[in-house]
A and B are shown apart, each in its own frame.
Chain A
Amino acid sequence: MDTFVILIQYTILYAIPLMIVALGGLFSERSGIINLALEGEMIFGAFIGALVTKLIIAANPQLATSQWLLILGVIISGLSGGAFSLLLSFSAIRAKADQTIGGTALNLLAPAIVCTFGLILFNSEKVITGARFVIISSQYSEAMQNAMFNSWFGPILRIMFDRLYLTTYIVIFLFIALSIWLYKSKTGTHIRACGEHPSACDSVGINVVKMRYLGTTIGGALAGIGGYAYIVACCAATAESSVAGLGFFALAIMIFGNWNPILIALGALLFGFLKCIGVLSSQISFLSTLNLPMYFYNIIPYFIVLVVLMLSKRKSGVPKAEGIPYDKGAR
């Protein structure tokens, strides 16, 4: 049972950065800008978030476990991810440059920034914050602990409240709120329309340039938050020049989810579940007796992606104007 709880907890911890970063990619691409820079935006957001966290903890060591500091870190990483993505949107919208090359440049730039400023500031390519944001079962009241370990719904309580990083609930809230906003609000609809038919939008008075900047910036902010959520939960809140390729993985999830938030969330959970079950397969008794190599579990999600892509060829959700710079003069 314990391993099962761990499996679900880490499935969620795996899926959280993936889904929010994939949603960031969706915001950008729905507005018409291909965003290959998710990895770089994650690295940059996590770096600035960790930097601020570190400086605050250095001045007030008692804040190392403060949830308010975590929330501040999320806000800072979101702002910095959004600011960093302006490099992409500037090159793609204002300079009308090739968007895949712009995105790749950002992916190269972010790790270089981390190494350079890490070395200048701390003589280390890492930003070791010393923060400890996790909330564990022993921090709850005795009654709650009793319920967690001695009742039939204990495992559910533990999945929800033990080994808890507040980033999980922040991300879930942002994911739902922004998905609804993108589909139901006026501005959200405008953003999506600019990814499909920008000249039609222009003809009814929608500012295509503004909408595309907005979509890419929200996308960058979400990627930055995803980067911070990743380092908080899985790297002892230490930022470095890598996020283990999660940005590219999120890109795959976005495509797997056919540019649709619900499918993205399901895809991220599925990927996370299969990754974690592969990791834990040797520790779960009925799986270890099957004696399948972990690679078997790792192959499944990619296999599913291939099948889904083949089946969904006709109704692909890819925004039609994606990747094409908007030129007012062209008709």
Chain B
Amino acid sequence: MKKNLILSLACAVLVLASAFALSSCGKKAEIAVVTDVGLLMDGGFNQGTWEGAEGYAKANGKTVQYYQPANGADATDADRITAMQTAIKNGAKVIVTPGFLQAAAIETVAKENPEVKFVFVDGWNFGPEYKNVTAISYKEEESGFFAGYAAVKDGYTKLGGTFGGGGTNPACSRFAYGFAQGANAAAAEMNKTVEVKISFKYGSTFGASTELATQIAGWYSNGTEIVFACGGSMVQSVISAAEATTNGKVIGVDVDQAGLSDRVLTSAVKGLAVSVEQVLGQFYAGEWDAKLADKTQNLGAAVDATGLPTASSSWRFATFTKAEYDQLFAKVKNGSLTIKNDIADNCDDVEFWAAVNTACANANISLDK
């Protein structure tokens, strides 16, 4: 009897501890953030969304709560639906859902709960029967463009980029496409040819791995000077490969990642927090039906939602100047320079990059597949 008691106690402690850690407590909150697969404080995408929601809530005296679907990186639509339903049960009036994987879950829950509003970050609107859904998407191609352009202008001629989502994540694919175009544009201005390697090989789960570090170490040893690490924890493996070389540099993503290592030259940032805050402001100002219902806002440099970090601690370029950046940024902002975003459904595709390569006369673009 005593044995069983000890056993069940031990089990109960284990189960309780994991349950406590994985699901958030059932606190009432009007604003809910439901993540897709990544972790909340991922130092990137989800964190930016959360900081926007939290910032708005704090400034305006609203309650905010996040929900992470069960099963972590293997979360399914069913897990996300459960998380959203829990949020609604806890009194959510508006649910902010970062990540394009949420589409199916939002469609289901939004239909059942027409009174609850959904902000689909990195997503799209679903049509007139979904008046309670609004979407924000970003022109990642612009951020990627700035990063590629700046690196080449700063003297780098052999660039690489490793991207998450295995080619099927539209945001990462747009970053890659813009990065290649930016490198090409700068090379054309400087009248030289640069090399750009693109890979979607080891980022399908956005995680760090020995495989990714090995691949990038190989790139550096074959002459690549700077690598764009685009996707969640992948940046850690890229940094470890860079730090094992004499001069290898890294480009970060989503938020300013200069603090991770002195090898981070710059970051292709996306103004997640600002735009989430703005949408929540419009919702509470009663402007949902007029400005947000069934609409997708495609945010870019025009509203300062894309760019490079310009704080002096993050500005690590040797020759590329802030004046040059401002000039380029202004051109993209006023629309005189547009960056193409017609990506393939699956960008891990040799033919797509062969076409990009043909279009980019001053860059040799190749896909490491």
* Residue ranges of A at the interface with B (Cβ–Cβ < 8 Å): 2-3, 5-6, 9-10, 13-14, 87, 90-91, 94-97, 105-106, 108-109, 111-113, 115-116, 118-119, 123-126, 128, 130, 132, 134, 136-138, 163, 230, 233-238, 240-242, 244, 275-276, 279-280, 282-283, 294
Q: Inside 8 A of B39's CB, which chain A residues have their CB? A: 115, 125, 240-241
Chain B nearest CB: distance from A33 CB in Å? Answer: 15
Q: Inside 8 A of A283's CB, which chain B residues have their CB? A: 218-219, 222, 368
Q: Inside 8 A of A5's CB, which chain B residues have their CB? A: 221
Q: Inside 8 A of A242's CB, which chain B residues have their CB? A: 73, 207
Could you tell me if B18 and A109 are in contact, using CB atoms closer than 8 angstroms? yes
Chain A nearest CB: distance from B65 CB in Å? Answer: 14
CB contact under 8 A between A236 and B261, given known A6-B221, A123-B41, A137-B246: yes
Query: Contact string, B202-236, partner A, CB cutoff 8 A, digits 1/0?
Result: 10000111110111011101100000000001001
Q: Inside 8 A of A294's CB, which chain B residues have their CB? A: 201
CB contact under 8 A between A2 and B221, given known A112-B18, A137-B246, A244-B210: yes
Query: Bound state CA distance, A183 and B21, in angstroms?
Result: 41
Query: Bound state CA distance, A91 and B3, in angstroms?
Result: 10
Q: Which of A91, A137, A233, A276 contacts B7 (CB 8 A)?
A: A91
Could you tell me if B218 and A3 are in contact, using CB atoms closer than 8 angstroms? yes
B330 at the A/B interface (Cβ < 8 Å)? Answer: no
Q: Inside 8 A of B201's CB, which chain A residues have their CB? A: 279, 294
Could you tell me if A125 and B14 are in contact, using CB atoms closer than 8 angstroms? no
Q: Inside 8 A of A230's CB, which chain B residues have their CB? A: 210
Q: Inside 8 A of A275's CB, which chain B residues have their CB? A: 210-211, 214
Interface residues of B in 59-81 (CB under 8 A from A): 72-73
Query: Bound state CA distance, A116 and B20, in angstroms?
Result: 9
Closest chain B residue to A246, Cβ basis: B210
Could you tell me if B369 and A282 are in contact, using CB atoms closer than 8 angstroms? yes
Interface residues of B in 234-265 (CB under 8 A from A): 236-237, 239-240, 243-246, 260-261
Can you sample 7 A-B contacts with CB below 8 Å? A13-B210, A87-B10, A113-B21, A242-B73, A242-B207, A276-B211, A279-B211
Query: Bound state CA distance, A310 and B15, in angstroms?
Result: 38
Chain B nearest CB: distance from A243 CB in Å? Answer: 9
Closest chain B residue to A116, Cβ basis: B21
Could you tell me if A238 and B208 are in contact, using CB atoms closer than 8 angstroms? yes
Chain B nearest CB: distance from A66 CB in Å? Answer: 15
Q: Inside 8 A of B3's CB, which chain A residues have their CB? A: 95-96
Q: Inside 8 A of A138's CB, which chain B residues have their CB? A: 246
Query: Bound state CA distance, A136 and B240, in angstroms?
Result: 12
Interface residues of B in 1-56 (CB under 8 A from A): 3, 6-7, 10-11, 14-15, 17-18, 20-22, 39-43, 47
Could you tell me if B10 and A240 are in contact, using CB atoms closer than 8 angstroms? no
Interface of B is mostly: helix
Could you tell me if A128 and B240 are in contact, using CB atoms closer than 8 angstroms? no
Enumerate the 4 nearest inter-chain pairs by beta-carbon distance, A residue then B residue, closest first. Answer: A112-B21, A10-B214, A236-B239, A124-B41
Query: Bound state CA distance, A10 and B237, in angstroms?
Result: 12
Interface residues of B in 175-212 (CB under 8 A from A): 201-202, 207-211
Query: Bound state CA distance, A130 and B262, in angstroms?
Result: 10
Query: Bound state CA distance, A220 and B55, in angstroms?
Result: 42
CB contact under 8 A between A280 and B236, given known A163-B244, A242-B207: no
Could you tell me if A233 and B240 are in contact, using CB atoms closer than 8 angstroms? yes
Chain B nearest CB: distance from A282 CB in Å? Answer: 6
CB contact under 8 A between A125 and B40, given known A115-B21, A236-B237, A236-B239: yes
Excluding A13-B213, A87-B14, 4 further A-B contacts by CB distance (< 8 Å) are: A125-B39, A126-B233, A163-B217, A283-B219
CB contact under 8 A between A279 and B218, given known A95-B3, A236-B260, A294-B201: yes
Could you tell me if B214 and A111 are in contact, using CB atoms closer than 8 angstroms? no
Query: Bound state CA distance, A95 and B217, in angstroms?
Result: 48
Q: Inside 8 A of A163's CB, which chain B residues have their CB? A: 217, 244
Could you tell me if A235 and B236 are in contact, using CB atoms closer than 8 angstroms? yes
CB contact under 8 A between A111 and B240, given known A238-B208, A244-B209: no
Closest chain B residue to A283, Cβ basis: B218
Q: Which of B22, B41, B73, B221 contacts A118 (CB 8 A)?
A: B41
Could you tell me if B14 and A132 are in contact, using CB atoms closer than 8 angstroms? no
Chain A nearest CB: distance from B175 CB in Å? Answer: 21
Chain B nearest CB: distance from A90 CB in Å? Answer: 7
Q: Inside 8 A of B18's CB, which chain A residues have their CB? A: 105, 108-109, 112
